[in-house]
Chains A and B, each alone.
Chain A
Amino acid sequence: MSRDPQGAGATLAELLKSPHVTSPTRQVLEERLEARHEPRALQADEFSRLQAVARRLVPPDPALFVPGEPDLAGAVDHRLASGLGDGWRYDDTPPDLEALKELLDVLPVDFVNQPSEGQDAHLRRLQERLPHAFEDLLAELTEVYYSHPLVQVSLGVAPFADAPGWTRIGLDEREEWEPQVGGAAPSPERHG
């Protein structure tokens, strides 16, 4: 259990009880807070490797409050087991489950037990070798993580507070129920 310096847990609980969240939205979020999935599509050893990969690709952000570890690998396996895709794939990449197994297969058998620097080096090579399959996995893990309502609240936003709507939408405007992040704004970093 990580610390919750900003009180994200309490803020979310407050919001979910309040009339600011419509019932279809509340239902989805409450289900997500509970969700944990046993592996069905992957073998046990593949699944533990996927968990280790997920921990490096989208590591729990120490600045954000989420109780326990978000079940990223479980969500991916669950989706694969359901047979549902996202409507497309790269033509040069095999079907989702096959592509994932191939990706995990390339990793050394002791990947799970390696120190994180070693794991990262393997992952960088994987990203070069199977760029499309890697990108698909990275995107899915990212989507699962950032759809967690506690992660969103910790980022200082509550987009799911969908009723009755927003009136303060301009720069530096905040509704009183919107979560605040303590301290100064993070300094933007440069990318690419």
Chain B
Amino acid sequence: MKIVDRHDEAPGVRTMKLEFQDPADHELFKETYRTGMFGLYGVYGEGESTFCVASPETRKEYIECTFRESGRVTSALARADIGDLVTFRGPYGNRFPLEEFYGKNLLFIAGGIALPPTRSVIWSCLDQREKFGKVTIVYGARTVADLVYKHELEEWMQRDDVELVLAVDPGGESPDWKHRIGFVPTVLEEAAPSPDNCVAVLCGPPIMIKFTLISLKKLGFDESNVYTTLENRMKCGLGKCGRCNVGSIYVCKEGPVFTAEEVSRMPAADL
């Protein structure tokens, strides 16, 4: 796929916009892609790396992906420039069941670099806004600099049909920071969204998910109404290579989207 746009989101975090070279591949993508699915992005000579499709299912003309430069493949992807070709395998995995969210209030909770998978669902819903009730987004990062999609955060902030709660960890604020200071679970409890007729989508590092689930429980959310994505190490994406197993689950086939209820039945030590 060709890189048609790219920009830096935060230190070491970059978004790339990719366009298909082969119309047949693009058609297949349009037929199959639903929000929540992931891909294997690669650079020949370096290998492939797994991350989500960050663009929504309502915009299938391109693929956007956001990644942190942290290993061999992501470093190579970060070196690639506009016009360069990179590889994409996918989309793989299951999806957020958007139809089941129709008519419900939505609560999105994300931490740091986990906003990209959440953003895919957020835009998939905002692009058909009339089908959903109240939309609340709680997003936190370690520092102001680490917040991704700053221009979109600004846009959500301006919208009167979205409530955006932004936070940075204590010490991560800048002198002009006007939003909340605190860890995501605490900020969530302070914001106290109602669990009535509400579905929560939660993405973040394992430790954030662990504590946010406790907060959601305190707020009265049922585990069956909380969705999350497991981002295990994956390689084949086809349920064969054995790398992404959590218990009997192949995350690449049966996930990455699970309800908190499903996750609670998995062996916690494997997560």
| A and B pair up | no
Using a CB–CB cutoff of 8 Å, the interface residues on chain A facing chain B are none
